[in-house]
Amino acid sequence: MIAILLSTYNGEKYLRDQLESLYCQTYSEFQLFVRDDGSTDSTISILEEYASKYSNIRVFKSETTNLGACESFMWLLKNVTAEYYMFCDQDDIWFPSKVQISLDALESESKRSNEKAIIVHTDLIVTDNNLDIIAKSLWENDNITPAKITRKYLKLVNYVTGCTMMFNRKARDLSIEYIGNILMHDFWISLCVDSSNGVIVSLPIPTIYYRQHTNNAIGASYKKHRFPILQRYFHIPDFSYSYDLYNVIRTKYDIGFAKYFILRITYYLKF
């Protein structure tokens, strides 16, 4: 079974568009699991409307305070058992072949690496809130092309975007035990797979319209920074983020701070 995990929070403006794109998929054998993170708008009503129309939706309503996107997605991952998993944001549009393309690639890789954790992910088309195209490739826009960065630098720059991922049960099992702040769910799962000598398949084709608007939890980095080079490569002046990032990385890799800093300098010189 493919489990599509959707976390919602006050998503009434774009949620219907996203749900419609799910139910226009060429591959329809999936289950949709939704956790609402305490919405105060009509998000729950929209979800209940679709749950009354389709039998493959299960909605979990928040019984706690707002967790935020990362913790909400990880809650779903911990509480849903499936063979394959996909993350879904509430405001994007999936191309009709998205599930099928990812499934084909994952099953093909599974024949070669059936005992390993596997992630398949793709490029994205970046749009504004009206779906007018900002960038035809997020990878090019953010300079995060996987073939250019390579796995060596994945621990520094996450090029695996959660809403394009499909991954297997092994990747899920490696990821659900964690301590403290993992920053973002997609980054954490990528680190878990990479550090376990798993497989990450990067498909250089877009499979979604990645909608950017003022309420994005996280998004494309086309915004201007006061210190663009330092911010991009060293997360300066955001020292707290740098510290959190290093703490996440050292839970998965045998790497001291000096080695980590040299690796980051090497990455900077590479680009």
Domain map of the chain by residue range?
A: 2-222, 224-271
Q: What is the band of 42 on the pLDDT scale with cuts at 50, 70, 90? A: very high
Dist CA 241 CA 236 (whole Å):
9
Task: Tokens for 230, please give them.
Answer: 């330092």
85: which residues sit within 8 A by CB, 6+ positions away?
A: 2, 3, 4, 5, 77, 165, 166, 167, 168, 169, 171, 172
Dist CA 25 CA 36 (whole Å):
23
Residue 13 to residues 58, 139, 213, 215, 224, Cα–Cα distance (Å): 21, 27, 11, 11, 26
Residue 225: the pLDDT is 42
What's at 153, amino acid-wise? Y
CB 44 within 8 A of CB 77: no
pLDDT of 223 over the 60 cut: no
pLDDT of 214 over the 70 cut: no
Q: What is the band of 216 on the pLDDT scale with cuts at 50, 70, 90? A: low
pLDDT of 188 over the 70 cut: yes
- The mean pLDDT of 129-153, rounded to a whole number, is 92
Q: What is the band of 179 on the pLDDT scale with cuts at 50, 70, 90? A: low
Of 113, 95, 135, 97, nearest to 222 by C-alpha is 135
pLDDT of 153 over the 80 cut: yes
- The mean pLDDT of 53-78, rounded to a whole number, is 90
What's at 134, amino acid-wise? I
pLDDT of 227 over the 50 cut: no
- The mean pLDDT of 78-101, rounded to a whole number, is 97
CATH of domain 2-222: 3.90.550.10
- Is 0.75 surpassed by the pTM of this model? yes
User: What rounded mean pLDDT belongs to the chain?
Assistant: 89
Residue 148 to residues 123, 154, 175, 230, Cα–Cα distance (Å): 14, 11, 26, 20
